[in-house]
């Protein structure tokens, strides 16, 4: 039996990126010990037992020699069980069961069960993207992950169900079946329609504007007014994910282990609605090694925070960085993780803690009421372009009012407004009005003189800060885009100013 050094390429995850790892296996004469070096975590160290048993149960000989596995580069921390398969293949290559001629140009990931079955792992899509970038032509993956991996154009995917399959494929003794298509992800049933919500035309209009310009929105109203119902319908009027976004969002879900086995890519915009008891680590990400939080899982979609004032204050404050930078950076002793977090925030709140039906029937004292909404800090509110107050629906209104436009109709208007923005903002590298900086506002929001006067008067009358003025202007730009107007007119500004009402009510 030849006793040699073999190597197999694999990958380790860092944030949502994968880094290539060279798995070196040395089988040498000596006492039968099996050592793993190169910053392995406990799951990687445990892989010794799985590899030993899986190799035997797959019908191969396990060498009674001294085995040393080195995961290189040694400075990079390796976590998780997906080095099982590359380590097993390295041992089989070193002992001659695997011819290994072409092994250098392959990368391999997979967890082994004791009977030699290959278990799915998270992050296969990220590994595939790294392989393509680094010029590696073929990736051997667990069969259950082959569909997501196939989404990487120009990369040959070898799906394997067992260690024996993997060896046969790499030895050229069997040919892989037809590549699975990444296109066949099941489309989630979406039966939420805006037409189901009666009345509340003002709130629906605000959500249409939010969808068109990518603005964050806060809905304030008594219990049962339809806040949660409306927020859940926002996704139905947003444009579908674009090609690059599909890969980006799917990579996040793959790394987070949320893609179900055998599934394809995520094609629907994410809608995440964490409970108000969530921790900072759950919302922003955290842990060691860092894992993505809800803001990252909402990337490309909607983060819905229902009952906003009930969230712990420091949890709400932690939202400021991702809202500002569209990404989060988490530093831990065992590594830094940077995760994308570009999401649209939709928040809902009752006007008071007791959830009284209206201001007239409210049992709370004015100080109690202002304390409740006062828990939302100014910097957080400043990042929300649209504040919408919903009235309680009375019985007559509820019975007589209709649902208005269907989501499909609203979405067409949203798409047209987005296209206008895309064309206008292309040179500035932006796509949405919500992302306009104060300086870009001057350039991209030409105002009629009447509109300028109106905004100035609103600043004085409503006590709008300079920031509030800019927020209103951004929203006015989107309202003009929905109306198909290039110049922002007074009527657009007048409507936009209505959505800053809470600046005055709460913070005066």
Residue found by looking up tokens 């409970």 in the block:
275
Report how far residue 189's alpha carbon sits from residue 180's, in angstroms, rounded to the nearest whole number.
23
Question: In terms of C-beta distances under 8 Å and separation of at least 24 residues, what long-range contacts does 428-431 make, across chains too?
Answer: 431/214
Size of residue set near Mg ion by CB under 5 A? 2
Judged by CB under 6 A, the chain residues 388 through 407 that form the site for ligand ATP are 393
What's the Cα-to-Cα distance from 110 to each of 11, 120, 443, 495, rounded to whole Å? 10, 6, 52, 56
Provide the minimum distance between the beta carbon of 400 and ligand ATP in the complex, in angstroms, as a whole number: 12
State both tokens at 156. Answer: 């040959």
- Does 226 bind ligand ATP (CB under 6 A)? Our answer is yes
Whether 215 contacts 241, CB under 8 Å: no
Provide the minimum distance between the beta carbon of 322 and ligand ATP in the complex, in angstroms, as a whole number: 24
Q: Pairing state of beta strands 344-349 and 217-220?
A: parallel
Q: Binding residue for ligand ATP (CB under 6 A) from 38, 63, 221, 322?
A: 221
Angle at 260 (CA atoms; ends 256, 263), nearest 5 degrees: 115
Which of Mg ion, ligand ATP, none does residue 279 bind to, with CB < 5 to 8 Å depending on kind? Answer: none
Q: Binding residue for ligand ATP (CB under 6 A) from 225, 316, 356, 475?
A: 225
Q: Binding residue for ligand ATP (CB under 6 A) from 224, 242, 456, 484?
A: 224
Provide the minimum distance between the beta carbon of 259 and ligand ATP in the complex, in angstroms, as a whole number: 30
Nearest residue to ligand ATP, by Cβ distance, number only: 226
- Residue closer to Mg ion (CB basis): 3 or 229: 229
Provide the minimum distance between the beta carbon of 402 and ligand ATP in the complex, in angstroms, as a whole number: 10
Which of Mg ion, ligand ATP, none does residue 229 bind to, with CB < 5 to 8 Å depending on kind? Answer: ligand ATP
Span near ligand ATP by CB under 6 A; candidates 17-25, 48-56, 117-125, 218-226: 218-226
Q: Binding residue for ligand ATP (CB under 6 A) from 174, 228, 329, 505?
A: 228
- Residue closer to Mg ion (CB basis): 113 or 229: 229
Contact track, ligand ATP, 337-366, x by CB under 6 A? -----------x-x----------------
Judged by CB under 5 A, the chain residues 225 through 244 that form the site for Mg ion are 227-228
The stretches of 326-377 forming alpha helices (DSSP H) are 366-374
Which of Mg ion, ligand ATP, none does residue 327 bind to, with CB < 5 to 8 Å depending on kind? Answer: none
Whether 79 contacts 118, CB under 8 Å: no
Nearest residue to Mg ion, by Cβ distance, number only: 228
Neighbouring residues of 277: CB distance < 8 A, sequence distance ≥ 6? none
- Residue closer to Mg ion (CB basis): 41 or 310: 310
- Does 329 bind Mg ion (CB under 5 A)? Our answer is no
Report how far residue 265's alpha carbon sits from residue 412's, in angstroms, rounded to the nearest whole number.
25
- Residue closer to ligand ATP (CB basis): 18 or 225: 225
Provide the minimum distance between the beta carbon of 277 and ligand ATP in the complex, in angstroms, as a whole number: 16
Q: Which has the closest alpha carbon to 353: 398, 303, 307, 316?
A: 307
- Does 276 bind ligand ATP (CB under 6 A)? Our answer is no
Greatest alpha-carbon pair distance for the chain in Å reads 89
- Residue closer to ligand ATP (CB basis): 229 or 364: 229
Whether 213 contacts 474, CB under 8 Å: yes
Span near Mg ion by CB under 5 A; candidates 223-231, 398-406, 459-467, 486-494: 223-231
- Residue closer to ligand ATP (CB basis): 275 or 416: 275
DSSP, residue by residue, 24-75: EEEEESSS--EEEESSB-HHHHHHHHHHHHHHHHTTPPPPSSEEEEEEESTT
Contact track, Mg ion, 182-221, x by CB under 5 A? ----------------------------------------
Beta strands of 318-385 (E only): which ranges?
327-332, 335-340, 344-349
- Residue closer to Mg ion (CB basis): 224 or 374: 224
Q: Binding residue for ligand ATP (CB under 6 A) from 59, 223, 260, 261?
A: 223
- Residue closer to ligand ATP (CB basis): 156 or 276: 276
Size of residue set near ligand ATP by CB under 6 A? 15
- Residue closer to ligand ATP (CB basis): 225 or 417: 225
| Coil, strand or helix at 411 | helix
Provide the minimum distance between the beta carbon of 37 and ligand ATP in the complex, in angstroms, as a whole number: 55
Neighbouring residues of 331: CB distance < 8 A, sequence distance ≥ 6? none
Residue found by looking up tokens 């420091």 in the block:
314
Report how far residue 441's alpha carbon sits from residue 437's, in angstroms, rounded to the nearest whole number.
6
Judged by CB under 6 A, the chain residues 179 through 208 that form the site for ligand ATP are 197-200
Residue 335 neighbours by CB distance under 10 Å = 15
| Residue 276 backbone dihedrals phi, psi, to 5 degrees | -70, -5
Count how many residues are written for the chain.
508
Residue 398 neighbours by CB distance under 10 Å = 13
State both tokens at 83. Answer: 């080095």
- Applying CB under 6 A, which residues contact ligand ATP? 197-200, 221, 223-229, 348, 350, 393
- Applying CB under 5 A, which residues contact Mg ion? 227-228
């Amino acid at each position: 039996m030849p006793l040699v050094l073999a190597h197999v390429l694999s990958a380790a995850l860092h944030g949502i990126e994968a880094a290539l790892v060279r798995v070196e296996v040395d089988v040498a004469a000596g006492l039968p010990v099996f050592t793993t070096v190169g910053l392995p975590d406990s799951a990687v160290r445990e892989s010794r037992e799985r590899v030993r048993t899986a190799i035997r149960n797959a019908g191969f000989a396990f060498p009674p020699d001294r085995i040393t596995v080195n995961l290189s580069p040694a400075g990079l921390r390796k976590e998780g069980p997906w080095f099982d398969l590359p380590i097993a293949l390295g041992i089989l290559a070193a002992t001659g069961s695997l011819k290994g001629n072409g092994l250098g140009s392959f990368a391999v990931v997979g967890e082994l069960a004791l009977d030699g079955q290959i278990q799915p792992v998270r992050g296969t899509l990220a590994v595939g993207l790294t392989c393509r970038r680094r010029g590696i032509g073929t990736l051997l993956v667990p069969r259950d992950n082959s569909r997501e991996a196939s989404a990487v154009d120009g990369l040959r995917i070898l799906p394997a169900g067992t260690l024996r399959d993997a060896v046969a494929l790499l030895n050229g003794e069997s040919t892989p079946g037809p590549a699975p298509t990444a296109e066949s992800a099941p489309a989630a049933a979406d039966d939420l329609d805006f037409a189901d919500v009666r009345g509340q035309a003002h709130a629906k209009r605000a959500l249409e504007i939010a969808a068109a310009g990518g603005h964050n929105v806060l809905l304030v109203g008594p219990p049962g007014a339809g806040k949660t119902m409306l927020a859940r319908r926002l996704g139905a009027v947003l444009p579908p994910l674009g090609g690059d976004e599909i890969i980006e969002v799917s990579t996040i879900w793959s790394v987070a282990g949320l893609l179900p086995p055998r599934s394809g890519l995520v094609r629907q915009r994410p809608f995440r609605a964490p409970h108000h008891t969530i921790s900072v680590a759950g919302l922003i990400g955290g842990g060691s090694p860092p894992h993505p939080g809800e803001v990252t899982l909402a990337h490309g979609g909607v983060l819905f925070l229902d009952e906003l004032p009930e969230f712990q204050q420091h949890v709400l404050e932690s939202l400021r960085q991702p809202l500002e930078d569209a990404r989060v950076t988490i530093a831990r002793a065992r590594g830094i993780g940077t995760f994308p977090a570009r999401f649209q925030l939709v928040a809902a709140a009752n006007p008071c803690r007791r959830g009284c039906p209206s201001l007239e029937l409210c049992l709370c004292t004015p100080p109690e009421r202002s304390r409740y909404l006062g828990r939302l800090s100014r910097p957080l509110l400043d990042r929300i372009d649209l504040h919408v107050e919903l009235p309680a629906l009375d019985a007559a209104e509820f019975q007589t009012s209709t649902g208005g436009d269907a989501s499909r109709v609203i979405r067409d208007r949203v798409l047209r407004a987005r296209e206008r923005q895309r064309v206008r903002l292309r040179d500035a590298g932006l796509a949405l009005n919500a992302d306009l900086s104060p300086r870009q506002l001057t350039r991209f929001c030409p105002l009629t003189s009447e509109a300028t006067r109106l905004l100035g008067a609103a600043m004085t009358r409503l006590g709008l800060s300079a920031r509030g003025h800019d927020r209103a202007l951004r929203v006015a730009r989107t309202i003009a885009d929905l109306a198909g107007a290039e110049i922002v007119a007074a009527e657009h500004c007048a409507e936009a100013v209505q959505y800053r009402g809470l600046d005055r009510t709460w913070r005066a």
